[in-house]
Amino acid sequence: MSAPDRILHTEKDWQSQLRNVLTSRDRLLRELHLSPADVSPTYGSDENFPLKVPVSFVRRMRRGNPRDPLLLQVLSTHDEDLEVPGYARDPLDENSDTIPRRGIIHKYQGRALLIVSGACAVHCRYCFRRHFPYQENRNSLKQWHDALHYIRSNHSIEEVILSGGDPLSVTDNHLHQLIADIAAIPHVKRLRIHTRLPVVIPARVTDSLLNAIAHQELQIVMVLHCNHANEIDTAVVAAIDALLQRRITVLNQAVLLRNINDSVDAQLALHRRLFASGVQPYYLHLLDKVHGAAHFDVPEKTARNIMQSLTAQLPGYMVPKLAREVPGEHSKRVL
């Protein structure tokens, strides 16, 4: 597939799209020509993680379909209120052992993760970070000093991962300065950015952003988060193409989600469409067992069966690695 021409966007464009969000369930359902009776009942308790979805993402939902896979990722429901045994508020046990300085998680060898922003363009209902104490860990530009010092004095760190929240929700100026500081550390060879924004608001990929992240001293890897083929429209394809033209390695991680992408057909379509857009598969994650997300869980056996079919039907380079995060282990566990 050849990439469509990219419309050149400015910082003002994506920031206005970032503000152009639906936060009302009724409004979202009306947009989609649905009535509340068509979907699971509402809930009302989690004020820290309200419904939030940009209009640019809503446009990719199919009207009149209460089971639309994009809608189900963002629609808050009463299922989130259920206390389910085994589902915790901090499923990954990210605590003082793994947070050596404010804003940095250092769990795996050679890689340190910076929490650049607690904010996201969209609130994915299954998100394992929904209860993370961002206020205690979010650094303004001036506050990065301690975390950068930690990386500078820790010579084993070859790769810095920008994460969040969504690290691309901060300004280009913030990213530019932070990345310049990272690039100046000689033992850091790679910069990785984990983001959902180029998928949710492809206008985020501006020339100014590309200038802020592309760096001579660093190899740049961007790991997108896309769960369903319907998320990839022509604007997303164009944004990916712009990243590739800057020699950024573009990978994708997805989460296996019940009723959203837990079928062989959905996974085939997703990985074919990603690859056609120039994206290599990385992880297919089993759900982290976070409170409020139990209704998205797919049993490991089902996941393994789906993987078997994918392996049989796709070339090896299009097959993601099925992975689960197990607290206390030295890497993600590949199944």
Ligand X SMILES: *Cc1c(COP(=O)(O)O)cnc(C)c1O
Q: Which does 122 bind (CB under 5 to 8 A by kind): ligand X, ligand SF4, none?
A: ligand SF4
**Residue 72 touches ligand SF4, criterion: CB under 6 A:** no
Strands (E), 33-119: 53-54, 104-108, 111-117
Q: In 10 A of CB 82, how many CB atoms? A: 12
Nearer to ligand SF4, 80 or 181 (CB): 80
Among 192, 196, 271, 285, binds ligand SF4 (CB under 6 A): 196
| Least Å from the CB of residue 186 to ligand SF4 | 31
What is the binding site for ligand X (CB under 6 A)? 105, 107-108, 111, 113, 161, 331-332
Do the beta carbons of residue 11 and residue 201 sit within 8 Å?
Answer: no
Q: Which residues contact 198 (CB under 8 A, 6 or more apart)?
A: 168, 204, 205, 222, 224, 236, 239, 240, 243
- Give the DSSP per-residue string, 5-23: PPPPP-HHHHHHHHH-EE-
Interior angle at CA 10, CA 4 and CA 13, nearest 5? 90
**Residue 228 touches ligand SF4, criterion: CB under 6 A:** no
- Measure the CA–CA gap between 226 and 288, rounded to whole angstroms: 16
Among 51, 124, 185, 260, binds ligand SF4 (CB under 6 A): 124
- Measure the CA–CA gap between 103 and 116, rounded to whole angstroms: 7
> Which of the residues 145 through 164 are near ligand SF4 (CB under 6 A)?
164
Binding string to ligand SF4 for residues 300 to 329, with x set by CB under 6 A, is what?
------------------------------
**Residue 166 touches ligand SF4, criterion: CB under 6 A:** yes
| Least Å from the CB of residue 108 to ligand X | 5
Site residues (CB under 6 A) for ligand SF4? 120, 122-124, 127, 129, 164-166, 196, 225
